[in-house]
Structure 1
């Protein structure tokens, strides 16, 4: 357990702590799929070079919070240093390296949205900006010497588990050269985040637009916004952060913003300043910081019941929080926008947003809110459903992420099992959010249903890592060849979690809204129980739900014992 003191270099040179736009486009842009075709599937590159072959005991796909945390805990808790992180970007950080839109920041207190074993003692504010979050992650990486444990610019095309050998082979390629790669490992960890692949604006005529178009997740910092007419599509968390930055940051200073959206969100007052004062007061030691963190956890967990059922306590919490949001908006937003932005469904049905100066910014005369849909895009701007033309120079899509695509990894076995095919038939799920049936020695960090409406995904990741450490330990010790969740346990978990989610408000009829939490009646996003419950199910595995296959060495040892027992005993 240690503390980290940030140098704040990221505030002086934020460009050093964000991905280059062209690199981001190659992975996340509208034509990003072409990056997968750089390498041939024949076993050789265009230059005729054979695949580069590497090996480690643990393979980790992804170098964000989950990948960094899993690597550190594997070395610390299991004393296993033979691991390799495979990351498609050119640096660590994941979401916090790739998402660099103006105003991008943590939407919950960073003292909770950080590793429990490496707490920062000098966050600049409760919800620090993207570049400061990236600086924190890079400090953690250097503290635990992870730079010699990573292979950057590596795209994984498919992963195949050999059922006989009990070993994974990862087939990938270098994102720049197309050089083919093959990496073998005993344990495979899926550490790709959920907020990865942008859901681009899908509207007729976008290709004809003469101005600049960008998704908030693939931001082009070379574009000059000063004095320009901007259309922002969407009003979720990223829009809540982007709009005030485009208006108020001298670097952008947009001439006008027309924000077009249909949905509404509960926007809560900013986090209380008293929490920051308490953080500063106790930042002199790790234990002081951890105490503040526990206080935030306790307060958040105390509000969890608002997401469950229709009981008296749940309804009371909802009324209090909804009233707080509504009164805040009525007090600080122009009256003409109240009807457009105040929801009429149950609070918590969609993820709630702590305001980041968005509501006060609506008084700026340069902004206009429109609730009509976009009919089509034309060279000079966008045309709304009512046939009104909104002239613009720049279109910014704050339209969220493709969670299904982010979850999918090309994982399969030599016996014919495929995670993506299983999910296509039955819906995405994972036993305790971590293990997939028929796919041995594979663990998802922040897998299906690992998200919450009130908690920190980093805490969820740490819990999942602790589960993996316990279950995979016999494999890494050589005592067992493989481990897989039993089909019945997996199916029961899937059935139980979906049944429980129906009594929640996450995009259900009880919640009364249409939410990305719930698609087609199947919710693979949120966890239906409290984080205390999640901590329990990840720290106390039910080994009867798991099936281990013994390694050849353990078989030989057993055979030797049996043979020795058959020898005649001499008096």
Structure 2
């Protein structure tokens, strides 16, 4: 990259461009006209206004000065997957009291596993409370993102969904918060769209359907609202249970073996009305190889006399029904496709990194990444819920929050150190990839089962999960390893962070000595057995 040629007048009156003196370090003027604590102005664009986009907005606005923030959302409303998915019974598969922001506890969840509409209302409330809506542009779809090496900017193409008009935008940092579960797909079954009855997909449901689910009693809800400590105790107990099962994912561990037996006994009890279904339904692989879902009432529904379980594959669809591999034609009035989403990690629009490398090409074989949040060759680019960010157990919201804390620290470092571009090192990406592969070889996730954790394959690389527990991720994100990144500095001046010898408060005559206040001093504790020796 050709260094920016910036004229700088030295104390001696020499106005020779800095770039022309780069070879003679002693003659280069490196005092930068900025305060040492001045925060460099940065424009940040977030793609997506789901949970990650909302929480990133809250934290960025709270913690990052001199920020220009824009959030593009392709839908007509915020909320991401909880706006898009409204099929009957759609709910979170972990307890509601752990599926919330740590800074915004909700004491009024009506169900233990909250429904999609209730979760959507909660996150809209969070966005409104913290002033996020003014940064969000709805029905605006980012269709292209290209990194400009010369400008150190991301150049974007954005489409207005209603008019189809495409316009340009630029930013210093790009945050992809599009999530993993919103690019739904039809199953590849011959004749599917020849069907003349009602054809539905779980991701495009008519939500007028009503349903019931496990709920809290009015007394419980009232106790949560009246007594904060009662609520806190309940919330921590649920969180403790959620965070205490990591051992069940480690192949051959006592918790994993006991857990498999416990799951089997639970299935038998819930299938008691049709015990013959157990042998047809029990998987050959251990629990957690695929996503565990509590599904209250699901197994019980299969035992209803009106329900038939058909294990023969659907080989084709015609105008009136389905044809299964056993040769039978079964007429149906309605077909529901619950076939999920494209979870391949392939970008849904062109993202072009340094030197013209498309992310789709880089990740063609496998989505190698660093800490699930970025990859080499893509400066100033971070991903919420990217490859290797999901959890087979534990608290996903905790991982999202800590990854956003991580992004915040990266942006603060760029402002503090006068950095114009930071990119993770290739060797750091390779180490993380190797770590993932070695870690997962010890877990049930590597068992032979077709799973979206492996991109829909039976024995492929595990590309969807974090290599550890959510508590492990919390620690991993706590202290960024700055040595794993490469940096380019404003004016190609690594000393620019030192500024011009001033602080911001001095320049604007706001000098204070608050650092001498008791609450600002880190007082060490005296040793209890300290004795003065003479």
With the length of structure 2 as denominator, give the TM-score of the two structures: 0.79
Q: Is the 8 A contact 1:189 1:444 kept in 2?
A: yes
Question: CA offsets, 1:452-501, max 9 Å, x none?
Answer: 11123222211110111112212245711111110100111111112211
SS of residue paired to 1:359: helix
Question: In the comparison of the two structures, how many residue pairs are matched?
Answer: 458
Query: How big is the shift at 1:190?
Result: 0.7
CA RMSD of aligned residues (A): 2.7
Counterpart selection for 1:342 from 282, 293, 301: 282
1:86 paired to 2:72: yes
Unaligned runs of 5+ in 1: 1-54, 226-244, 250-269, 563-571
Report what 2:400 is aligned to: 461
Report what 1:328 is aligned to: 269
Counterpart selection for 1:188 from 174, 179, 192: 174
Query: How big is the shift at 1:349?
Result: 1.1
1:202 paired to 2:188: yes
Counterpart selection for 1:360 from 300, 303, 311: 300
Report what 2:364 is aligned to: 424
1:105 paired to 2:45: no
Query: How big is the shift at 1:156?
Result: 1.2
Q: Distance in 2 between matches of 1:219 and 1:131?
A: 13
Question: CA offsets, 1:142-192, max 9 Å, x none?
Answer: 101111101111111111111222211111211111111212111111101
Q: Distance in 2 between matches of 1:111 and 1:439?
A: 36
Report what 1:436 is aligned to: 375
Question: CA offsets, 1:366-420, max 9 Å, x none?
Answer: 2211000011111110011111111011110011111115755522135222222
Report what 1:482 is aligned to: 421
Q: Is the 8 A contact 1:375 1:387 kept in 2?
A: no
Q: Distance in 2 between matches of 1:557 and 1:405?
A: 38
Query: How big is the shift at 1:133?
Result: 0.9
Q: Is the 8 A contact 1:350 1:515 kept in 2?
A: yes
Report what 1:297 is aligned to: 239
Moved more, 58-67 or 165-174: 165-174
1:404 paired to 2:344: yes
With the length of structure 1 as denominator, give the TM-score of the two structures: 0.75
Counterpart selection for 1:550 from 489, 504, 510: 489
Query: How big is the shift at 1:503?
Result: 1.5
Q: Check 1:188–1:479 CA distance in 2 against 1; reply closer, same or farther (3 A cut).
A: same
Q: Is the 8 A contact 2:379 2:422 kept in 1?
A: yes
Q: Distance in 1 between matches of 2:68 and 2:289?
A: 43
Question: CA offsets, 1:211-256, max 9 Å, x none?
Answer: 121210111358xx9xxxxxxxxxxxxxxxxxxx7xx77xxxxxxx
Report what 1:515 is aligned to: 451
Q: Distance in 1 between matches of 2:295 and 2:311?
A: 20
Q: Distance in 1 between matches of 2:311 and 2:160?
A: 44
Report what 1:316 is aligned to: 258
Specify which structure has the bigger relative contact order, considering alpha-carbon pairs within 8 angstroms and separated by 6 or more residues: 2
Q: Check 1:482–1:328 CA distance in 2 against 1; reply closer, same or farther (3 A cut).
A: farther
Q: How does 1:133-282 map to 2 (within 5 A)?
A: 133-221=119-207, 281-282=223-224
Q: Distance in 1 between matches of 2:84 and 2:468?
A: 31
Q: How does 1:14-29 map to 2 (within 5 A)?
A: none
Moved more, 102-111 or 91-100: 102-111
Question: CA offsets, 1:49-84, max 9 Å, x none?
Answer: xxxxxx971100000000000010101122455201
Q: Distance in 2 between matches of 1:340 and 1:500?
A: 32
Q: Distance in 1 between matches of 2:355 and 2:219?
A: 57
Q: How does 1:19-98 map to 2 (within 5 A)?
A: 57-79=43-65, 81-98=67-84
Moved more, 469-478 or 132-141: 469-478
Q: Check 1:369–1:549 CA distance in 2 against 1; reply closer, same or farther (3 A cut).
A: same
Report what 1:132 is aligned to: 118
Q: Is the 8 A contact 1:418 1:439 kept in 2?
A: no
Query: How big is the shift at 1:522?
Result: 1.1
Name which one, 1 or 2, has greater alpha-carbon Rg: 2
Q: Distance in 1 between matches of 2:265 and 2:221?
A: 24
Unaligned runs of 5+ in 2: 1-40, 502-534
Q: Distance in 2 between matches of 1:123 and 1:541?
A: 35
